[in-house]
Amino acid sequence: MNTEELIDTLARDAGPVRPLPTPARRVLGWLFVALGFAAAMVWAIGPRPDLAERLTEARFLFEQGAALATAAAAAMAALALTLPDAARFWRWLPVIPGAAWLGTLGLGCLRDWAQMGPAGLRLTPDPECFAYIALIGSLPLLVLVLMLRRGAALRPSWTLALAALAAAAVGNFALRLFHTQDAALMVLVWQVGAVLLIAGVAALCGRSVLRWPGVPT
Amino acid sequence: MDSATEGAGSETTGKSRHAALDALMCAAQNGDRRAYQALLKEVAVRMRRLVSARAPWLGHADVEDIVQDVLLSLHTARATWDPQRPFMPWIAAIARNRLADHARRYARRQAFDQAANDLAEVFSSTPGQTHAERVVNLMSVRRAMNELTEGERRAFELVRLREMSLAEAADAGKTTVGAMKVAVHRATRKLKRAINRDGTEIE
């Protein structure tokens, strides 16, 4: 097909399109779905018996708040990166809540060590963390990928990594509402580790999941 | 949208031309097929000129391939354009991205990066949103090219556009490697000053 024919075809097929809402508005929609699914999973698996008590602890609330803020910031960054004229700094948006999340867990490690000595920093295998985070993050990630595909695949690796970070952070947020594991080092290594691993794997898949249609990679 | 359609084709100043393209895209989003066709034609002309100038070794089919790729990308991404914002940085970002992908595919990254940088000349845009207001004037680039000495222009062409090594270029220009290096450096600095005051467009 020559270019003139292509232009005619595109122009003939082009109906009205509604400009995408702002990333902030789209993130609110995504959070609604993601947290709804997470709540349903927590309800299905059964919340931890000491949840009411945990919800009165500032440390627990802060860690959960930071995880949720990281999820929201990462989702917003991913959505913004699919807008061609968005500024490049968007990709760094999750850095501040992410640093707060890691920071509070790091401080938790120190506190556990101060309170319990070496026993507070014991690291035992906790593989189900990964499975739960992946399971609870799956639907939010799918929804977010569908939303991202309405945008332009300009930076696919970054975009998908941020999307996976957002979804996995929601998974981790939900996990802590039913999984009785509060040792900061365990959370840091197995749970945050799982979140980062999922984001890293997603970065490698970016180009095959998010692409310009009709264009070979 | 007839007035917008005519506006894009006429010889107008840079700013009103940009405004005309904004109007065309706005109309296209609202379903005006004629406006959309005029917009696609305008983008195709500019892209064809850019790619042919900066990658002269590409055949006609390859050039058209890239032009069509940009048009398809524009079509796919047209909902991501916010009518409150200018069209130029938006399409320039898409074009830059598609050129970069083609560069990877053709393993000719250097030359295509040059072409992507030269979007400033074709689209009069700036690389990022933070510079979006700093519109580059095509005339200033032309003036800067005229200001280069014959030696500088030749050196810039051999090394930057034809991707010769300094040694090859010195050989072709019958001069020394040192002189060639200085000439390329001077030419780049002059163009850099002309295209973008903070020097992000070239180099």
Contacts of B91 in chain A (CB under 8 A): 84
- Reported ipTM exceeds the 0.85 cut: no
A7 interface with B at CB cutoff 8 Å? yes
* Least trusted range by pLDDT, from A165-169, A176-180, B76-80, B103-107: B103-107
Q: What is the pTM of this model?
A: 0.70
User: What is the DSSP code string of A59-73?
Assistant: HHHHHHHHHHHHHHH
Question: Does the pLDDT of residue B198 top 60, yes or no?
Answer: no
Residues of B with CB under 8 A from a CB of A: 28-31, 33-34, 36-37, 40-41, 44, 48, 64, 67-69, 71-73, 75-83, 85, 89-91, 93-94, 97-98, 101, 105, 128-130, 132
Q: What distances in angstroms separate CA B125 from CA B92, B116, B136, one per listed residue?
A: 7, 11, 6
Q: What are the boundaries of each domain within chain B?
A: 2-132, 139-195
A3 closest CB neighbour out of B30, B68, B85 = B68
Contacts of A11 in chain B (CB under 8 A): 33-34, 36-37, 40
Picking from B22, B113, B94, the residue whose alpha carbon sits closest to that of residue A152 is: B94
B157 pLDDT higher than 60: yes
First to last CA, chain A: 20
The shortest C-alpha distance from A8 to chain B (Å) reads 7
Residue in A with minimal Cα distance to B64: A3
Per the CB < 8 A criterion, the answer to whether A67 and A138 are in contact is no
What pLDDT band is residue B123 in, cutting at 50, 70 and 90? low
What CATH code would you report for B139-195? 1.10.10.10
pLDDT the model gives residue B115: 61
The answer for B163, left when phi > 0, alpha when psi is -120 to 50, beta otherwise, is left
Interface test with B, best of A4, A18, A22, A85 (most B CBs within 10 A): A85
pLDDT for A184 equals 84
Chain A residue numbers with beta carbons less than 8 Å from the beta carbon of B68 are: 1, 3, 6
Q: Which of B40, B76, B78 sits opposite A212 (nearest CB)?
A: B76
Whether A5 has its CB under 8 Å from any CB of chain B: the answer is no
Decide if B28 and A14 are in contact by the 8 Å CB cutoff.
Answer: yes
The more confidently predicted of residues B42 and B114 is: B42
Distance from CA of B172 to the nearest CA of A (A): 37
Average pLDDT over residues B88-114: 73
CA distance B128 to chain A (A): 6
Are B80 and A87 an interchain contact pair (Cβ–Cβ within 8 Å)?
A: no
A157 in contact with B, Cβ within 8 Å? no
- 3-state secondary structure string, B134-190? CCCCHHHHHHHHHHCCHHHHHHHHHHHHCCCCHHHHHHHCCCCHHHHHHHHHHHHHH
B72 to A214: CB separation less than 8 angstroms, yes or no: yes
CA distance A152 to chain B (A): 5
**In chain A, whose CA is at the least distance from the CA of B45?**
A3
Q: What is the pLDDT along chain A (217 residues), one digit of tens a residue?
A: 788 888 988 888 888 889 999 999 999 999 999 999 999 999 999 999 888 998 998 889 999 999 999 999 999 999 999 999 888 888 899 999 999 998 988 888 888 888 888 877 778 787 888 899 999 999 999 999 999 999 888 889 999 999 999 999 999 999 999 988 778 888 888 888 888 999 999 999 888 888 876 554 4
Is A58 within 8 Å of chain B by CB?
A: no
For residue A82, report the phi and psi dihedrals to the nearest 5 degrees: -90, 5
Considering only the beta carbons, identify the residue of A15, A152, A214 that sits closest to B77.
A152
